[in-house]
Amino acid sequence: MSPDEASTIAFDIGWDFARFGRPMDVAAHDLDLLTGYAAGREHFLVAQHRPDRFVSKWLQLRVNAFKRRRILSGDVDPAYLKRIDCETCPITLVTLTHSALCDSDWSVDRINNDGAYAPGNLMVMSVRANRAKGAKDYRDVSLLASETANGKTERAERENLSKREWERLRCVMVGAADVSDAAPTLTPLLTRIPEDSRAPLFYVLQHMLLQAVTRASARNQLVKALNRLQPSNERCLGLRFAAERLSVLLKTSSYPYDALDDELFQRQLRCWFVNIPRTHVPELLGLCASHGAYRCEPTLPAAWSVETHGRF
């Protein structure tokens, strides 16, 4: 990006702050931001719109991204933020608040800190989860989750998340990471994957089952469709057993995704999944897509600009 392009972006951000009547701290911002803001204030003597929380967050993201010299995709707008919004933090499971100045307030952050502010790399979470995540990458979070699992809780407690919360964050981040080893992607799905985010195919399979197994007709229909892809009768029976077991586990789980963390269920499902013939994988992807699958691209999207750490 040329200096002129960067200046234009900064000017537009300042202009929009003025257009929506949002104050801009003169002492804290770039000269081009302030030039755009001053021009906007002169042009819009009265604010043109009253910003809702999505517009306010969009303005905040734009100025924060620019100050860090990070790319913010043009596709990330207030409508996109509204689409990825949620009521409950997928990490801490608290009900999100808004402008309450507390740990449960909603925040928007990148999932992969080496990527741009782009579709698929943003999620809504609580301030507490965001603060704990900080600048950590997937490997940092995975290590913390493993340390907690091994009883080494002192560091995890300092980082302000519980064992299960670190594990949930690891689930959310693995799809957005450049992970070459398949093992981390063949684990229980412990929380809802944020809207529009990337997820391993095995997670998508678990999510489909979770949505279908509570009704016998839907469960049987999905299992039948999946088993058309599996030539082994034994593994077909294993998938049917896994689906029926999950339906029972869900009846006693306060958080539905906890039901997926069952070794017998996972063993049967993994056995079915890893033995699908490669020639049937496109059909599995198509079936997932028909059930509203998450993003399953084989590589990280170019729009994330991971090779430049999301910077312009």
Domain count, the chain: 2
In a domain, 262, yes or no: yes
The sign of the dihedral angle between the CA atoms of 181, 184, 189, 190 is negative
- Joined together, the tokens standing for residue 124 give 């809504």
Rg (CA), the chain: 22
Q: Which residues pair with 304 in a beta bridge?
A: none
Place of tokens 């392009």: 5
Per-residue model confidence (pLDDT) at position 294: 65
Strands (E), the chain: 106-110, 122-126
Can you tell me the distance from the alpha carbon of 299 to that of 120, in angstroms, rounded to the nearest whole number? 12
Task: Classify residue 97: in a domain, yes or no.
Answer: no
Is 301 among the domain residues? no
pLDDT of residue 4: 81
The b-or-e profile of 127-144 (16+ CB within 10 A means b, else e) is bbbbebbeebebebbbeb
- Is 126 contained in some domain? no
Q: Which helix (H) or strand (E) holds 149?
A: helix 138-149
Which has the closest alpha carbon to 40: 13, 63, 59?
13
Tokens at 243, concatenated = 């689906």
3-class secondary structure, 33 = helix
d(CA 278, CA 276): 6
Host domain of residue 241: 201-290
**pLDDT tens digits, one per residue of 66-106:** 999 999 999 999 999 999 999 999 999 999 999 999 999 99
Q: How many CB atoms lie within 10 A of CB 159?
A: 19
User: What is the CB-side half-sphere exposure of residue 256 using CA atoms within 13 A?
Assistant: 12
Asked whether residue 222 is assigned to any structural domain, the reply reads yes
pLDDT at res. 149: 52
Global confidence as pTM: 0.92
Query: Tens of pLDDT along the chain (312 residues)?
Result: 677 888 999 999 999 999 999 998 776 678 999 999 999 999 999 888 889 999 999 999 999 999 999 999 999 999 999 999 999 999 999 999 999 999 999 999 999 999 999 999 999 999 999 999 999 999 999 999 997 555 555 555 556 899 999 999 999 999 999 888 889 999 999 999 998 999 999 999 999 999 999 999 999 999 999 999 999 999 999 999 999 999 999 999 999 999 999 999 999 999 999 999 999 999 999 998 888 776 677 789 999 999 999 998
Residue 205 lies in a domain: yes
Reported as a single tens digit per residue, the pLDDT across 155-191 is 555 568 999 999 999 999 999 998 888 899 999 999 9
Contact (Cβ atoms closer than 8 angstroms) between residue 287 and residue 226: yes
DSSP, res 95: B
| Measured distance CA(156)–CA(147) in Å, rounded | 8
Q: How many CB atoms lie within 10 A of CB 50?
A: 8
One-letter amino acid for residue 192 of the chain: R
How many CB atoms within 10 Å of residue 60? 14
In a domain, 157, yes or no: no
233 located within any domain: yes
